[in-house]
Structure 1
């Protein structure tokens, strides 16, 4: 029989448990830098060459000898192109007998083509790009664990790196369970429900750079569920199991996890998504998610995404928050709870309206809220208090009323 555990972690405690226990995957692969966007660098990467390898012009202009300007503007009436000056284009190496560049905007040519200058350079080497100004051989360009972005791709290619070792794509197995479920896209018989969590979780996994292994719906039979879990543990870097962790007479997940591994979290200290668990079987982490889609969605956003980040050498990502003034009293219940909020801008300040989902469909509830507030059990927070709201969207999307 299910027994409520003594330790029920809060949101922050659960994130800390994941942070302590989940270790990065060690599998790597070598790919082209050109297609490495979003991948995780598996080792420090150093520049193969130095650029520029000759002094270059930092602007469009003319290259000159600084010593010719030692007494101010020289008499240039007899200057000859190629002997006394040369045209210099941005990024192009200047001739070795010139050491300074004057921007073309400060260069004047008369009707006969004779050159003069509206200013004198103040320092030798002015507007000259020095050797190694872009990259230097042996310089550290990308760090182990760094997520490769557009800027890094450009720097790597400039540094002579065309192939790079990255973490292999993470594989995440998802096992939906329940006799009452039918796959999405099929006719739903009376008394049955649509299994939508698979494709929702697949989207989360893809968003985090992983590859999903989706299992068919597993009926509430212990042996079949055990077979599926063992198969997933052998095939994936992370296993997700949906439903079966509550107190029903066909909820076998926790019992099975105890038999094949080590259960570290039996249940959360907050809702929604209270029946979320965390275990290990061998070296494979397993997260048990609640079956109801809203709870599965919330715990996936909080814990699955961060588990995937940790497996890929990335830190836990805290939600983006803003301070908002509460419009009405809210009272905590017997456990921590995540209250949905609608934040708007009014009279130049953010205000947060608590939203209850009674009488609303999931879609209506989703579109009426844009953030959430984590309220601790039995807390009482009065209207007018400033609270920290975790936002779904950037502040630019907040409605002004």
Structure 2
């Protein structure tokens, strides 16, 4: 078992042990946020032949005249609507705003520059057959679905979502909304984990609180291995008297590492039981958030075919100097705001100095890197946004 593993080594070890999920074909309308399993191309051209760019009349360009009063509807001109095809006998469209029809006679409301073929979208002007739409591994969103629909893909092959079971543990834990008694604490990690796991591309399965009892935990893990593709045990990862979760994983399977070079939440662990990944995620809220971000998120993305995290990154100027550990990675909350000039400014928050609530309220976060220089006031740094600014 490796102790004090680095971020890169931990993720590489996971990828060495497990392969991405299989594929499934689903309707396009159900594919939002899914990861594309194939590179897709447009099946046909749009327009299929040609189409009018606007509402107007279609005419024969060679017959254009400044006095069309003698023209006959259906022979010399017809109506043309935006986006619609029209008869091959006609090749040019004149905007309806320039057309006057009185007493059955056609005339122009004003002079305009005329060119044969004007205001007509030709075959494939919107999209051509075999145009590359999206690469395999693309994460689908609203505009991606519109693009695939334009390419006439009613169904898409996507990576299956892994089912991830989250097991909160601790005899002190009670559910949200429970009146606290002495020695009790709220399970605040389950609602956070549910949202993050969905964001990462998984199907979260939240288990009820498991008390600090070895037999109860064994039973919960055995059940979770049947229901899920990955299991997260929340809590019991350190060296306290009731922190026996690691010993149970050693009994049930193979533990690959314990303790990591990324805090808070350094006593995380990864094991393999019945050929499925089982993680211990530390119990303190900001440590849980950190491990979910740097470890669990990348592992889920790997299983779903998406290697890169989906953060909105911005650069902001640091308002105050900050001290943080330099011998391992460390998570800092980042509160980003705009000044009157529209520039982005940021305060970095440590859970030890500023408290967990302020860190959880922050609209972004930053990871320090081992060996980096301390953050100084005025530095421009890159921030991962969690909320719009």
TM class, shorter-length: 0.7 to 0.9
Partner of 1:274: 266
Partner of 1:62: 57
CA distance 1:232–1:16, shift in 2 (3 Å):
same
Is the Cα contact below 8 Å between 1:324 and 1:343 reproduced in 2?
no
Consecutive unaligned residues in structure 1, runs of 5 or more? none
Decide which of 168, 189, 208 is 2:181's aligned counterpart.
189
Distance 1:99 1:74 in 2: 17
Matches within 5 A, 1:73-84: 73=65, 75-84=67-76
Distance 2:368 2:150 in 1: 50
Partner of 1:339: 332
1:363 aligns with 2:360: no
Partner of 2:137: 145
TM-score in terms of structure 1 length: 0.80
After superposition, what is the alpha-carbon deviation per residue over 1:137-165, rounded to whole angstroms, capped at 9, x for unaligned? 66665554333333343444455543444
| SS across alignment from 2:246 | helix
Cα drift, residue 234 of structure 1: 3.2
Partner of 1:52: 47
Q: Which moved more, 1:371-380 or 1:185-194?
A: 371-380
CA distance 1:254–1:46, shift in 2 (3 Å):
same
1:25 aligns with 2:21: yes
Cα drift, residue 269 of structure 1: 0.8
Is the Cα contact below 8 Å between 2:174 and 2:186 reproduced in 1?
yes
Cα drift, residue 224 of structure 1: 3.9
Matches within 5 A, 1:92-103: 92-103=84-95
Q: Number of residue pairs matched?
A: 386
Matches within 5 A, 1:33-52: 33-44=28-39, 50-52=45-47
Consecutive unaligned residues in structure 2, runs of 5 or more? none
Distance 2:353 2:320 in 1: 21
Cα drift, residue 94 of structure 1: 1.3
Matches within 5 A, 1:2-401: 5=3, 7-10=4-7, 14=10, 23-28=19-24, 30-44=25-39, 50-69=45-64, 73=65, 75-107=67-99, 113-116=105-108, 118-122=111-115, 124-134=116-126, 141=133, 143-317=135-309, 319=311, 320-328=313-321, 330=323, 332=325, 335-346=328-339, 348=341, 349-357=343-351, 362-367=356-361, 369-376=362-369, 380-381=373-374, 383-393=376-386, 397=389
TM-score in terms of structure 2 length: 0.82
Is the Cα contact below 8 Å between 2:322 and 2:376 reproduced in 1?
yes
CA distance 1:241–1:351, shift in 2 (3 Å):
same
Distance 1:301 1:175 in 2: 17
Cα drift, residue 374 of structure 1: 3.0
Distance 1:314 1:81 in 2: 57
CA distance 1:260–1:125, shift in 2 (3 Å):
farther
